A and B are shown apart, each in its own frame.
Chain A
Amino acid sequence: MRFPSTWVLNFICFFILFNLACSFQTTFWFQVFGQVPSPFLWILFPVYFIVTRPGFGSVFICYFFTLIASRYSSIHLGNLLIVMSIITFMILMLRSRIFWSGPSYYMLISFGSLLAFHFLLLAISFSLEENHAPLLLGDRFIQIILTLGFCYPSYLVMQKIDNLLGTQDSFIQGLGEQRDL
Protein backbone atom coordinates (compact mmCIF):
# COMPACT_ATOMS: atom_id res chain seq x y z
CA MET A 1 0.00 0.00 0.00
CA ARG A 2 1.51 3.34 -1.03
CA PHE A 3 1.23 6.38 1.23
CA PRO A 4 0.53 9.46 -0.87
CA SER A 5 2.48 12.54 0.15
CA THR A 6 -0.81 14.33 0.82
CA TRP A 7 -1.46 11.91 3.70
CA VAL A 8 1.77 13.07 5.38
CA LEU A 9 0.82 16.72 4.86
CA ASN A 10 -2.67 15.95 6.13
CA PHE A 11 -1.23 14.33 9.26
CA ILE A 12 1.10 17.29 9.89
CA CYS A 13 -1.82 19.75 9.53
CA PHE A 14 -3.92 17.82 12.03
CA PHE A 15 -0.93 17.44 14.37
CA ILE A 16 -0.49 21.23 14.43
CA LEU A 17 -4.24 21.83 14.81
CA PHE A 18 -4.45 19.34 17.67
CA ASN A 19 -1.60 20.99 19.57
CA LEU A 20 -3.24 24.38 18.92
CA ALA A 21 -6.49 23.09 20.41
CA CYS A 22 -4.77 21.64 23.49
CA SER A 23 -2.71 24.81 24.06
CA PHE A 24 -5.85 26.89 23.62
CA GLN A 25 -7.47 24.90 26.43
CA THR A 26 -4.51 24.92 28.82
CA THR A 27 -2.97 28.35 28.18
CA PHE A 28 -5.29 30.83 26.41
CA TRP A 29 -8.49 29.79 28.18
CA PHE A 30 -6.68 29.54 31.54
CA GLN A 31 -5.16 33.03 31.18
CA VAL A 32 -8.37 34.72 30.02
CA PHE A 33 -11.14 32.85 31.84
CA GLY A 34 -9.24 31.35 34.79
CA GLN A 35 -11.07 28.47 36.47
CA VAL A 36 -14.08 28.47 34.11
CA PRO A 37 -14.24 24.97 32.50
CA SER A 38 -12.74 25.00 29.03
CA PRO A 39 -14.33 23.31 26.00
CA PHE A 40 -13.03 19.80 25.34
CA LEU A 41 -11.63 20.68 21.94
CA TRP A 42 -8.96 17.96 21.88
CA ILE A 43 -11.47 15.10 21.74
CA LEU A 44 -13.06 16.44 18.53
CA PHE A 45 -9.97 15.43 16.54
CA PRO A 46 -9.80 11.71 17.37
CA VAL A 47 -13.58 11.50 16.94
CA TYR A 48 -13.31 13.06 13.47
CA PHE A 49 -10.59 10.59 12.49
CA ILE A 50 -12.56 7.61 13.71
CA VAL A 51 -15.70 8.76 11.87
CA THR A 52 -14.02 9.61 8.56
CA ARG A 53 -11.05 7.25 8.28
CA PRO A 54 -10.83 3.45 7.73
CA GLY A 55 -10.74 1.20 10.81
CA PHE A 56 -7.26 0.33 12.09
CA GLY A 57 -5.50 3.46 10.90
CA SER A 58 -7.90 5.62 12.83
CA VAL A 59 -7.40 3.53 16.00
CA PHE A 60 -3.65 4.13 16.11
CA ILE A 61 -3.98 7.78 15.17
CA CYS A 62 -6.47 8.13 18.01
CA TYR A 63 -3.92 6.56 20.36
CA PHE A 64 -1.26 8.97 19.12
CA PHE A 65 -3.54 11.95 19.79
CA THR A 66 -4.20 10.54 23.24
CA LEU A 67 -0.45 10.37 23.88
CA ILE A 68 -0.13 14.05 22.93
CA ALA A 69 -3.09 15.03 25.13
CA SER A 70 -1.57 13.21 28.12
CA ARG A 71 1.46 15.54 27.94
CA TYR A 72 -0.82 18.51 28.69
CA SER A 73 -2.04 16.99 31.92
CA SER A 74 -1.04 14.96 34.95
CA ILE A 75 -3.58 12.28 34.02
CA HIS A 76 -2.01 8.87 33.65
CA LEU A 77 -1.54 7.76 30.05
CA GLY A 78 -2.89 4.30 30.78
CA ASN A 79 -6.17 5.63 32.19
CA LEU A 80 -6.67 7.91 29.20
CA LEU A 81 -5.77 5.17 26.70
CA ILE A 82 -8.22 2.74 28.25
CA VAL A 83 -11.05 5.29 28.04
CA MET A 84 -10.18 6.35 24.49
CA SER A 85 -9.81 2.77 23.30
CA ILE A 86 -13.29 1.93 24.58
CA ILE A 87 -14.73 5.04 22.93
CA THR A 88 -12.86 4.25 19.70
CA PHE A 89 -14.20 0.73 19.42
CA MET A 90 -17.70 1.87 20.38
CA ILE A 91 -17.71 4.46 17.58
CA LEU A 92 -16.29 1.96 15.08
CA MET A 93 -19.00 -0.57 15.93
CA LEU A 94 -21.69 2.10 15.70
CA ARG A 95 -20.28 3.38 12.41
CA SER A 96 -20.43 -0.12 10.92
CA ARG A 97 -24.16 -0.26 11.63
CA ILE A 98 -25.43 3.32 11.39
CA PHE A 99 -23.72 5.91 9.26
CA TRP A 100 -24.55 8.93 7.16
CA SER A 101 -22.05 11.49 5.94
CA GLY A 102 -22.25 15.08 7.04
CA PRO A 103 -21.78 17.27 10.11
CA SER A 104 -24.93 16.09 11.90
CA TYR A 105 -23.56 12.55 12.29
CA TYR A 106 -20.22 13.90 13.49
CA MET A 107 -21.92 16.18 16.05
CA LEU A 108 -24.06 13.33 17.38
CA ILE A 109 -21.04 11.06 17.71
CA SER A 110 -19.07 13.88 19.39
CA PHE A 111 -21.87 14.43 21.91
CA GLY A 112 -21.99 10.71 22.68
CA SER A 113 -18.20 10.55 22.96
CA LEU A 114 -18.14 13.44 25.42
CA LEU A 115 -20.74 11.78 27.63
CA ALA A 116 -18.96 8.43 27.37
CA PHE A 117 -15.58 9.96 28.13
CA HIS A 118 -16.66 11.58 31.37
CA PHE A 119 -18.67 8.54 32.43
CA LEU A 120 -15.85 6.07 31.71
CA LEU A 121 -13.18 8.21 33.38
CA LEU A 122 -15.30 8.51 36.51
CA ALA A 123 -16.17 4.80 36.44
CA ILE A 124 -12.52 3.75 36.18
CA SER A 125 -11.50 6.20 38.88
CA PHE A 126 -14.28 5.20 41.29
CA SER A 127 -13.67 1.49 40.81
CA LEU A 128 -9.88 1.41 40.90
CA GLU A 129 -8.63 4.45 42.80
CA GLU A 130 -8.90 5.07 46.53
CA ASN A 131 -8.70 8.82 46.05
CA HIS A 132 -11.14 8.93 43.16
CA ALA A 133 -11.86 11.79 40.78
CA PRO A 134 -14.35 14.44 41.92
CA LEU A 135 -17.80 14.33 40.32
CA LEU A 136 -17.80 18.01 39.21
CA LEU A 137 -21.13 17.55 37.45
CA GLY A 138 -21.56 21.28 36.84
CA ASP A 139 -18.10 21.68 35.33
CA ARG A 140 -18.52 18.61 33.12
CA PHE A 141 -21.94 19.81 31.92
CA ILE A 142 -20.52 23.23 31.03
CA GLN A 143 -17.62 21.55 29.22
CA ILE A 144 -19.97 19.43 27.13
CA ILE A 145 -22.16 22.41 26.19
CA LEU A 146 -19.17 24.56 25.26
CA THR A 147 -17.61 21.75 23.22
CA LEU A 148 -20.80 21.20 21.24
CA GLY A 149 -20.63 24.87 20.28
CA PHE A 150 -17.24 24.24 18.69
CA CYS A 151 -18.30 20.98 16.99
CA TYR A 152 -19.68 22.36 13.73
CA PRO A 153 -16.90 24.94 13.12
CA SER A 154 -14.22 22.34 13.87
CA TYR A 155 -15.89 19.89 11.46
CA LEU A 156 -15.86 22.53 8.73
CA VAL A 157 -12.18 23.27 9.33
CA MET A 158 -11.18 19.60 9.31
CA GLN A 159 -13.29 18.87 6.23
CA LYS A 160 -11.72 21.86 4.50
CA ILE A 161 -8.24 20.45 5.19
CA ASP A 162 -9.25 17.06 3.84
CA ASN A 163 -10.83 18.59 0.72
CA LEU A 164 -7.89 20.93 0.05
CA LEU A 165 -5.40 18.10 0.25
CA GLY A 166 -7.69 15.72 -1.61
CA THR A 167 -7.07 13.12 1.10
CA GLN A 168 -10.67 12.12 1.67
CA ASP A 169 -11.03 10.56 -1.78
CA SER A 170 -7.62 8.88 -1.66
CA PHE A 171 -8.48 7.28 1.69
CA ILE A 172 -11.62 5.84 0.21
CA GLN A 173 -10.02 4.75 -3.07
CA GLY A 174 -6.81 3.37 -1.58
CA LEU A 175 -8.22 1.30 1.21
CA GLY A 176 -11.80 0.77 0.17
CA GLU A 177 -14.92 1.84 2.00
CA GLN A 178 -14.35 -0.13 5.22
CA ARG A 179 -17.38 0.08 7.47
CA ASP A 180 -16.65 -3.11 9.45
CA LEU A 181 -13.81 -4.02 11.82
Chain B
Amino acid sequence: MFRYVNLSFKQFALLCVAVILPIVSFNVEQSKSETTWIAEPLDLVKQGFESAFFVFTAGVRDTTSEYLNLIGIKQLNADLKLKNAQLEVNQSRFEEVLLENQRLKKLLEFKETNKMQLIAAQVVGGDLFKDHKTITINKGSEHGLKSGMGVVTLQGVIGYVFRPERWSSQIMLIEDRYSVVDAVVQRTRAHGIVEGKGHSGCALKYVERSEDVQIGDVVVTGGLDNIFPKGFPVAIVRNVESKRSTVSLKVDLDPVVDPAKVEEVFVISNASDQDVGNQFFSGVFTPESSTEAASR
Protein backbone atom coordinates (compact mmCIF):
# COMPACT_ATOMS: atom_id res chain seq x y z
CA MET B 1 0.00 0.00 0.00
CA PHE B 2 2.81 2.37 0.86
CA ARG B 3 4.50 1.58 -2.48
CA TYR B 4 1.27 2.20 -4.42
CA VAL B 5 0.56 5.67 -2.97
CA ASN B 6 4.28 6.59 -2.64
CA LEU B 7 4.10 7.77 1.00
CA SER B 8 6.78 7.66 3.67
CA PHE B 9 5.85 6.62 7.21
CA LYS B 10 6.12 10.22 8.40
CA GLN B 11 3.80 11.45 5.67
CA PHE B 12 1.36 8.64 6.41
CA ALA B 13 1.34 9.53 10.12
CA LEU B 14 0.73 13.18 9.32
CA LEU B 15 -2.08 12.20 6.94
CA CYS B 16 -3.71 10.10 9.67
CA VAL B 17 -3.55 13.00 12.15
CA ALA B 18 -4.98 15.40 9.55
CA VAL B 19 -7.92 13.05 8.86
CA ILE B 20 -8.59 12.02 12.48
CA LEU B 21 -8.48 15.54 13.99
CA PRO B 22 -11.76 16.83 12.51
CA ILE B 23 -13.51 13.48 13.06
CA VAL B 24 -12.54 13.47 16.77
CA SER B 25 -13.78 17.02 17.25
CA PHE B 26 -16.99 16.35 15.34
CA ASN B 27 -20.02 16.40 17.56
CA VAL B 28 -23.52 17.42 16.51
CA GLU B 29 -24.56 18.15 20.12
CA GLN B 30 -24.34 21.80 20.96
CA SER B 31 -22.61 22.53 24.26
CA LYS B 32 -23.37 25.82 25.98
CA SER B 33 -19.96 27.31 26.46
CA GLU B 34 -16.80 26.22 24.67
CA THR B 35 -14.12 28.66 25.79
CA THR B 36 -10.92 26.64 26.20
CA TRP B 37 -7.37 27.71 26.90
CA ILE B 38 -6.45 27.52 23.22
CA ALA B 39 -9.42 29.68 22.21
CA GLU B 40 -9.03 32.46 24.83
CA PRO B 41 -6.15 34.35 23.09
CA LEU B 42 -8.03 34.10 19.80
CA ASP B 43 -11.13 35.54 21.49
CA LEU B 44 -9.09 38.49 22.80
CA VAL B 45 -7.79 39.26 19.30
CA LYS B 46 -11.27 38.91 17.89
CA GLN B 47 -12.73 41.34 20.43
CA GLY B 48 -10.06 43.91 19.60
CA PHE B 49 -10.75 43.79 15.88
CA GLU B 50 -14.54 43.92 16.31
CA SER B 51 -14.32 46.92 18.67
CA ALA B 52 -12.06 48.76 16.22
CA PHE B 53 -14.45 48.14 13.33
CA PHE B 54 -17.43 49.25 15.40
CA VAL B 55 -15.80 52.60 16.22
CA PHE B 56 -14.73 53.06 12.59
CA THR B 57 -18.19 52.25 11.28
CA ALA B 58 -19.86 54.77 13.60
CA GLY B 59 -17.56 57.46 12.20
CA VAL B 60 -18.33 56.42 8.61
CA ARG B 61 -22.07 56.58 9.24
CA ASP B 62 -21.87 60.05 10.83
CA THR B 63 -19.79 61.39 7.95
CA THR B 64 -22.11 59.88 5.32
CA SER B 65 -25.24 61.33 6.91
CA GLU B 66 -23.58 64.76 7.02
CA TYR B 67 -22.63 64.46 3.33
CA LEU B 68 -26.14 63.37 2.30
CA ASN B 69 -27.63 66.29 4.18
CA LEU B 70 -25.40 68.78 2.42
CA ILE B 71 -25.97 67.54 -1.16
CA GLY B 72 -29.37 69.21 -1.62
CA ILE B 73 -28.11 72.41 -0.01
CA LYS B 74 -25.44 73.01 -2.67
CA GLN B 75 -28.12 73.64 -5.27
CA LEU B 76 -29.78 76.53 -3.47
CA ASN B 77 -28.62 80.10 -2.66
CA ALA B 78 -25.06 79.69 -1.24
CA ASP B 79 -25.03 81.83 1.87
CA LEU B 80 -28.52 81.46 3.29
CA LYS B 81 -28.87 77.85 2.21
CA LEU B 82 -25.49 76.97 3.62
CA LYS B 83 -26.56 78.51 6.93
CA ASN B 84 -29.85 76.68 6.65
CA ALA B 85 -28.02 73.43 5.92
CA GLN B 86 -25.82 73.89 8.92
CA LEU B 87 -28.87 74.49 11.06
CA GLU B 88 -30.54 71.42 9.59
CA VAL B 89 -27.49 69.28 10.21
CA ASN B 90 -27.32 70.46 13.78
CA GLN B 91 -31.03 69.87 14.18
CA SER B 92 -30.83 66.36 12.76
CA ARG B 93 -27.96 65.69 15.12
CA PHE B 94 -30.01 67.05 18.01
CA GLU B 95 -33.02 65.01 16.89
CA GLU B 96 -30.90 61.90 16.75
CA VAL B 97 -29.50 62.69 20.19
CA LEU B 98 -33.06 63.40 21.40
CA LEU B 99 -34.35 60.09 20.02
CA GLU B 100 -31.39 58.30 21.51
CA ASN B 101 -32.03 60.10 24.79
CA GLN B 102 -35.69 59.07 24.77
CA ARG B 103 -34.71 55.50 23.96
CA LEU B 104 -32.14 55.40 26.73
CA LYS B 105 -34.62 57.01 29.16
CA LYS B 106 -37.10 54.24 28.48
CA LEU B 107 -34.35 51.69 29.00
CA LEU B 108 -33.40 53.33 32.30
CA GLU B 109 -37.03 53.48 33.48
CA PHE B 110 -37.41 49.82 32.54
CA LYS B 111 -34.29 48.96 34.49
CA GLU B 112 -35.35 50.98 37.55
CA THR B 113 -38.94 49.75 37.72
CA ASN B 114 -37.94 46.10 37.85
CA LYS B 115 -36.50 43.98 40.61
CA MET B 116 -34.36 42.20 38.07
CA GLN B 117 -30.66 42.90 37.95
CA LEU B 118 -29.98 44.08 34.43
CA ILE B 119 -26.80 44.85 32.51
CA ALA B 120 -27.28 47.21 29.55
CA ALA B 121 -25.29 46.50 26.39
CA GLN B 122 -24.98 47.60 22.77
CA VAL B 123 -25.17 45.36 19.73
CA VAL B 124 -21.86 45.53 17.85
CA GLY B 125 -21.93 42.65 15.38
CA GLY B 126 -23.59 39.58 13.92
CA ASP B 127 -22.71 36.01 13.00
CA LEU B 128 -20.11 35.03 10.43
CA PHE B 129 -22.53 32.59 8.79
CA LYS B 130 -26.07 33.29 7.62
CA ASP B 131 -27.13 29.82 8.81
CA HIS B 132 -26.88 31.00 12.39
CA LYS B 133 -28.67 33.82 14.14
CA THR B 134 -26.46 35.37 16.77
CA ILE B 135 -25.43 38.90 17.69
CA THR B 136 -22.40 40.22 19.55
CA ILE B 137 -22.75 42.71 22.39
CA ASN B 138 -20.10 44.87 24.01
CA LYS B 139 -20.29 43.35 27.50
CA GLY B 140 -18.56 40.19 28.65
CA SER B 141 -17.43 38.20 31.67
CA GLU B 142 -15.59 41.26 32.99
CA HIS B 143 -19.00 42.92 33.38
CA GLY B 144 -20.55 39.93 35.12
CA LEU B 145 -22.03 38.07 32.18
CA LYS B 146 -22.26 34.30 32.31
CA SER B 147 -23.32 31.63 29.85
CA GLY B 148 -27.09 31.08 29.77
CA MET B 149 -28.15 34.53 31.01
CA GLY B 150 -31.30 35.83 29.35
CA VAL B 151 -31.19 38.85 27.04
CA VAL B 152 -34.22 41.09 26.59
CA THR B 153 -35.30 44.40 25.13
CA LEU B 154 -38.21 46.64 26.10
CA GLN B 155 -40.47 44.68 23.77
CA GLY B 156 -39.57 41.19 24.90
CA VAL B 157 -37.14 38.29 24.83
CA ILE B 158 -34.43 38.35 22.21
CA GLY B 159 -32.19 35.46 23.24
CA TYR B 160 -29.61 34.33 25.77
CA VAL B 161 -25.89 34.53 26.32
CA PHE B 162 -24.29 31.74 24.31
CA ARG B 163 -20.58 32.44 24.60
CA PRO B 164 -19.37 35.07 27.08
CA GLU B 165 -15.87 36.33 26.31
CA ARG B 166 -13.87 38.74 28.38
CA TRP B 167 -15.19 42.06 26.97
CA SER B 168 -17.89 40.94 24.60
CA SER B 169 -20.43 38.16 24.35
CA GLN B 170 -22.26 36.25 21.68
CA ILE B 171 -26.03 36.13 22.10
CA MET B 172 -28.01 33.29 20.57
CA LEU B 173 -31.28 34.70 19.26
CA ILE B 174 -34.49 32.76 19.81
CA GLU B 175 -34.76 32.37 16.01
CA ASP B 176 -31.50 30.37 15.89
CA ARG B 177 -32.11 26.68 15.23
CA TYR B 178 -30.09 25.69 18.30
CA SER B 179 -32.07 27.99 20.61
CA VAL B 180 -34.59 26.69 23.18
CA VAL B 181 -36.66 28.81 25.59
CA ASP B 182 -39.24 27.61 28.08
CA ALA B 183 -42.59 29.30 27.40
CA VAL B 184 -46.33 29.24 27.99
CA VAL B 185 -49.28 30.54 26.00
CA GLN B 186 -50.41 33.56 27.99
CA ARG B 187 -54.16 33.06 27.51
CA THR B 188 -54.47 29.34 28.26
CA ARG B 189 -51.17 28.65 30.11
CA ALA B 190 -50.41 25.80 27.69
CA HIS B 191 -46.79 24.91 28.25
CA GLY B 192 -44.21 24.34 25.53
CA ILE B 193 -40.65 24.99 24.35
CA VAL B 194 -39.87 27.75 21.86
CA GLU B 195 -37.33 26.45 19.33
CA GLY B 196 -35.80 28.52 16.59
CA LYS B 197 -36.26 27.58 12.94
CA GLY B 198 -33.57 29.76 11.41
CA HIS B 199 -34.90 32.52 9.20
CA SER B 200 -38.57 31.56 9.30
CA GLY B 201 -39.20 32.45 12.93
CA CYS B 202 -39.76 29.98 15.75
CA ALA B 203 -41.95 27.04 16.68
CA LEU B 204 -43.66 26.12 19.94
CA LYS B 205 -42.91 22.46 20.46
CA TYR B 206 -44.29 19.77 22.77
CA VAL B 207 -47.72 21.39 23.17
CA GLU B 208 -50.31 18.72 23.69
CA ARG B 209 -52.90 18.34 20.95
CA SER B 210 -55.69 18.87 23.47
CA GLU B 211 -54.47 22.36 24.38
CA ASP B 212 -56.31 25.47 23.14
CA VAL B 213 -53.90 27.56 21.05
CA GLN B 214 -55.16 30.11 18.52
CA ILE B 215 -53.60 32.43 15.96
CA GLY B 216 -52.75 35.74 17.64
CA ASP B 217 -52.12 34.21 21.07
CA VAL B 218 -49.13 35.61 22.89
CA VAL B 219 -46.40 33.27 24.07
CA VAL B 220 -44.58 34.40 27.21
CA THR B 221 -41.70 33.02 29.26
CA GLY B 222 -42.50 30.29 31.72
CA GLY B 223 -40.10 31.52 34.39
CA LEU B 224 -38.42 28.16 34.99
CA ASP B 225 -34.74 28.21 36.05
CA ASN B 226 -35.02 31.95 36.85
CA ILE B 227 -33.30 32.82 33.52
CA PHE B 228 -36.10 35.03 32.22
CA PRO B 229 -38.73 36.69 34.39
CA LYS B 230 -42.05 34.97 34.20
CA GLY B 231 -44.52 36.42 31.74
CA PHE B 232 -42.04 38.19 29.45
CA PRO B 233 -43.31 38.28 25.84
CA VAL B 234 -41.50 35.94 23.47
CA ALA B 235 -43.56 35.54 20.29
CA ILE B 236 -47.02 35.61 18.71
CA VAL B 237 -48.74 32.54 17.30
CA ARG B 238 -48.82 32.76 13.50
CA ASN B 239 -50.17 29.34 12.59
CA VAL B 240 -51.57 26.29 14.39
CA GLU B 241 -51.87 22.81 12.90
CA SER B 242 -53.24 19.72 14.56
CA LYS B 243 -52.49 16.39 12.91
CA ARG B 244 -53.82 13.04 14.02
CA SER B 245 -50.43 11.40 13.36
CA THR B 246 -48.72 13.44 16.07
CA VAL B 247 -49.36 13.94 19.79
CA SER B 248 -48.30 17.61 19.72
CA LEU B 249 -49.64 20.67 18.00
CA LYS B 250 -47.56 22.26 15.26
CA VAL B 251 -47.41 25.92 16.29
CA ASP B 252 -45.49 28.50 14.25
CA LEU B 253 -44.47 31.73 15.97
CA ASP B 254 -43.32 35.22 15.02
CA PRO B 255 -40.89 36.72 17.57
CA VAL B 256 -42.06 40.00 19.11
CA VAL B 257 -38.59 41.51 18.78
CA ASP B 258 -37.11 42.14 15.33
CA PRO B 259 -33.36 41.58 15.89
CA ALA B 260 -32.51 43.61 12.77
CA LYS B 261 -33.73 46.79 14.53
CA VAL B 262 -32.22 46.20 17.96
CA GLU B 263 -29.39 48.49 19.05
CA GLU B 264 -29.47 48.18 22.84
CA VAL B 265 -30.30 45.15 24.97
CA PHE B 266 -30.48 44.15 28.62
CA VAL B 267 -28.79 41.06 29.99
CA ILE B 268 -30.62 39.61 32.98
CA SER B 269 -27.99 38.74 35.55
CA ASN B 270 -30.66 37.87 38.12
CA ALA B 271 -34.36 37.54 37.29
CA SER B 272 -35.16 37.72 41.05
CA ASP B 273 -38.12 35.41 40.42
CA GLN B 274 -39.97 38.39 39.04
CA ASP B 275 -43.33 37.83 37.44
CA VAL B 276 -44.01 40.66 34.99
CA GLY B 277 -47.51 39.27 34.52
CA ASN B 278 -49.63 41.78 32.60
CA GLN B 279 -47.11 44.61 32.82
CA PHE B 280 -46.82 44.73 29.02
CA PHE B 281 -50.42 44.11 28.04
CA SER B 282 -53.54 42.61 29.46
CA GLY B 283 -55.50 41.71 26.35
CA VAL B 284 -54.94 40.27 22.92
CA PHE B 285 -51.56 41.27 21.54
CA THR B 286 -51.25 43.45 18.46
CA PRO B 287 -48.06 45.08 17.14
CA GLU B 288 -49.61 48.53 17.79
CA SER B 289 -50.36 47.73 21.43
CA SER B 290 -46.79 46.55 21.85
CA THR B 291 -45.52 49.89 20.53
CA GLU B 292 -47.86 51.83 22.82
CA ALA B 293 -46.79 49.76 25.81
CA ALA B 294 -43.15 50.39 25.03
CA SER B 295 -43.67 54.12 24.57
CA ARG B 296 -45.48 54.54 27.94
Contact = CB atoms under 8 A, between A and B. Distances in A.
A82 B125 contact: no
A32 B197 contact: no
A31 B21 CA distance: 36
A96 to B, nearest CB: 11
Contact of B136 (A24, A26, A76, A180): A26
Contacts of A133: 131, 177, 198
A128 B29 CA distance: 10
Nearest to A41: B128
A22 B198 contact: no
Interface in A63-83: 63, 67-69, 71-79, 81-82
Contacts of B27: 76, 78
Nearest to A122: B131
A28 B53 contact: yes
Given A60-B18, A74-B134, A85-B22, A19 B49 contact: yes
A81 B61 contact: no
A52 B4 CA distance: 26
B9 interface: no
A134 B131 contact: yes
Given A19-B46, A136-B199, A35 B260 contact: yes
Main secondary structure of the interface of A (DSSP, over half): helix
B179 to A, nearest CB: 9
A130 to B, nearest CB: 9
**B127, B163, B196, B200 — most chain A CB neighbours (10 Å):** B127
B163 to A, nearest CB: 7
A116 to B, nearest CB: 15
Interface stretch (B37-45, B71-79, B150-158, B241-249): B37-45
B21 A63 contact: yes
A25 B129 CA distance: 9
Contact of B26 (A23, A72, A79, A121): A79
Interface in A1-21: 19-20
Contacts of B295: none
A177 interface: no
Nearest to B163: A74
B6 A25 contact: no
A22 B136 CA distance: 13
B2 interface: no
A30 B126 contact: yes
A59 interface: yes
B132 interface: yes
Nearest to A84: B22
Q: What are the 7 A-B residue pairs with the smallest beta carbon separation, nearest first?
A: A81-B22, A78-B26, A134-B198, A23-B49, A27-B53, A30-B126, A27-B125
28 contacts: A19-B46, A20-B49, A22-B46, A23-B50, A23-B125, A26-B125, A26-B127, A26-B136, A27-B50, A28-B57, A31-B61, A32-B61, A63-B22, A67-B39, A67-B42, A71-B42, A72-B127, A72-B128, A75-B129, A77-B25, A78-B26, A79-B28, A82-B22, A85-B22, A131-B177, A131-B195, A131-B196, A181-B15
Interface of A: 19-20, 22-28, 30-32, 34-35, 37, 42, 56, 59-60, 63, 67-69, 71-79, 81-82, 84-85, 121, 125, 128-129, 131-134, 136, 139-140, 143, 180-181
